[in-house]
Each structure stands twice: as C-alpha cells, then as structure tokens.
Structure 1
Amino acid sequence: MCTGKCSRCIAYTLYPLVFLSMLCNIILFFPGGAVKYSREGHITEEVKYMGGLIGGGLMVLIPALYISCTGEEGCMGNRCGMFLSIGFAVEGLAGALYSFIVAASGVGNGPLCLYNGQWTTPFKNSNASYQSDPKVWPLCIEPKNVVQFNTGLFCTLIAVSCVQAILCAIQMINGLIGCLCGTCNKTETGTIN
C-alpha cells in the first residue's frame, strides 16, 4: 500500500474515534442524564481532567487533519510532509495516552456519588474490585446507576484511546517510510523532495 493512501486510511479511521472520545467525555459530565450534578460540582475528578475531550479529542484531531493532508497530492503530500506527520503522530500518541491514563484512573477510583449522606468516592480505597461485585453498586444512592454509567463510558474511552495509540504508532512508521521512500503521489514523481 502506498504511504499516502495509508495516511488517508489512518486519518479517516481516527475521525470517528475522536468524535466518540469527545462524546463519551461530554456525556460523563451528566451522570444519570441530569445537569444538576455538574451544576453542583458532583462530578468524578477524572471527568474534569477531560481526557476524552483534550487527549483523545483535540490532541488526536489535529494530527488526524494533518495526516489526511499528507495522503493527498499537493504541498503536504511529499517527503517533507511525511516527515512532519511523524511529529504530529507523536502528538496524537501523547493525547491517546493521556486519555487512556485518565480513563483507567476513573475506572480504578470509581465514581463520585452520594454514599452514607455525603458525596465521596466509596470505591477509591477498596481492596476488592468493585466492578466485579454488583452487590456493592447500590451503595451509591445518587446519581442512579452511576457505577455502570462511569464504568461503561470510561471503559469505552480506554478502548478508543488504545486504538488511537495504535493508529498513531502505525502513522509514525508510515511517515518514516514515506519520508525515506516517497508518498507515491503523482506530483512527487521525478522531483527531489
């Protein structure tokens, strides 16, 4: 496969992942579908770090936009453009890793919820894994079903960030090959880049 076509394929795969990452993070601000928890500040700390919006979102979107341009004919579809795509792919990889770390921390610490009359993270210091014991989930009185809500969305962010990281790593290799061998674009034929 031509390195330019590979770049386009990677970029077009990253776009829906960026959208999904941002969407998951936005939804996490509204546990139980209610705005009142955000307004009152009863949101899990890891949601406020915005790993899905900043890391898996903007930090991957900008490289995806550039990487898609390197797959097209024109000023970026050459060896220099492919070289620069390596740096953008590193930025995307860093964003995906940030999203992964925040989401994994969110799953590990558990949600912020009303427990014994106060807002706390009751599963943060528990020795046992609360995800495998659904009997303890009702301990969180409010927001309703917050354990399933947070765990599902943070696990989705973990999966998305893993795929994003893999795609950015592939683009780093693809960019190196494109830098050394060319992009297979028609405008590059016969020219020295």
Structure 2
Amino acid sequence: MCCSVGFARSLGLALVPLALCSVLANLLLLFPMGDVAYVQQDRLAQYVWYFGGLGGGGVLMLVPAVVFSTLGKCGCCWNESLMMCGSVLAAVVGLLGSSYSFVVSGFALVQGPQCFTVMGWTYPFDDQNARYVLEPETWSQCLQPVNIVEWNVTLLSVLLGLSVLEFIICLCQLGNGLVNAVCRPCCYKQEYSLNA
C-alpha cells in the first residue's frame, strides 16, 4: 500500500509521552521548587499563565495523538482516504498546538522569571533578550523563589524541545497523509493488477 497507516499509528503513540511530559513541565512551572505560595500570591512570570505546555503542547496535542494512533481501527470510518484526510486535519491541529507551546515558551524564556530582588518583586532579566541564560553568574539576583532561574530555564528549555519534536511528528504525518491522498489512485491500480 502507498499509505502507511502503521507509520501514522507509531507517530500517534510517540506523541502521547511528549504531550504528557509537556503537561508535567507546565505544571511544574506553576509551583517553583514545589511551593504553592507563589501561585497564591500571583508571583509567577506572566507567560506561565498562558499555559503553552499544558494547552498547546499537552491537551491540544492529544487530538492528533488519538487520531493517529487509532487510524484504521475505528469502525465508523468509511474508507482509507477519509481516514487520512482526518489525520491531515489532526496534524494541522497538532502543528498549531506545538507552535503555540514553542512561542509561549520562547517568550517566557526571553522575559525571564519574576522574582524577589534587592529592588523588590520584578523581572530582572526582561530587557536582556535572553542573554541571562548564558550568564549564570547573574542568576543570584533572584533571592526568592530559591533557584527560580534554574527552574524556569530548565523547564522552558524542555518545553521548547518537546514542542519542536511534536511539530516534526505532526509535520511528518501531514506529509504522509497528503502523499497518500495524491497517490491513492495508483495504489488501487497496483492492488487490482496484483489480485488479477
């Protein structure tokens, strides 16, 4: 067969752990060092509240994960072309979700964390265009939460990496689905000639 339903299913199965890791990383951003006090006091960075990993890279990514992994198993699907069309639409949803996660995580990384410094609660790295990431000696400006810069940089970098992987997987399925839709007539001719 021209199309690879098995390939799409494996992509769907690969998306599930990525989406779950994205949700986990976003939830950890809400609780620096496991402390709930900063959520209650609204002392988290602005972009953390956009839920890029939870919404875009997590929940929204479950749509293509479920569609890809159940491709061909659903009794309600009339034919393979319709199934692949559905997988293309799900891939577009996944591309949007992973892009949202990437953009929000990128902006959050550029802005840096909100933390308590000698000047009070502020964004000490907001005007540095993310240069602080490569200058760990400046991280000690943040007095509270303890190790907040390391916490944010690590988790946001993880979210950036996960969103790139999710984007690549959804792009692969988009290509797989489109190629299958284009070559479907030739597949039928080949299958017919083999069975004749």
Partner of 1:173: 175
Write out aligned runs for 1:1-193 (5 A): 2-72=3-73, 74-76=75-77, 78-126=80-128, 129-181=131-183
Give the % identical residues: 36
CA distances 1:9-66 after superposition (whole Å, capped 9, x unpaired) = 1000000000000000000000121010011101111110000011001111112111
Q: Deviations over 1:58-92 (max 9, x none)?
A: 11111211121224364336110101211110010
Spell out structure 1 runs of 4+ moving beyond 6 A.
Answer: none
- Root mean square deviation of aligned Cα: 1.8
Question: Which has more radius of gyration?
Answer: 2
Of 35-44 and 110-119, deviating more is 110-119
Deviation at 1:176, TM superposition (A): 1.4
Q: Taking structure 1 as the reference length, what is the TM-score of the superposition?
A: 0.89
| TM-score of the superposed pair, with normalisation by structure 2 | 0.88
CA contact (8 A) 2:110 2:130 kept: no
Q: Structure 2: where are the runs of 5+ without partners?
A: 185-190
In the alignment, the residues of structure 1 paired with residue 100 and residue 129 of structure 2 have an alpha-carbon distance, to the nearest angstrom, of: 25
Report deviation, 1:171.
Answer: 0.5
Measure, in 2, the Cα distance between the counterparts of 1:119 and 1:4.
53
> How many Å separate the matches in 1 of 2:154 and 2:27?
14
* Other structure's SS at 1:70 match: coil
Gaps of 5+ in 1: 183-188
Give yes or no for contact 2:3–2:179 (8 Å, CA) kept in 1. no
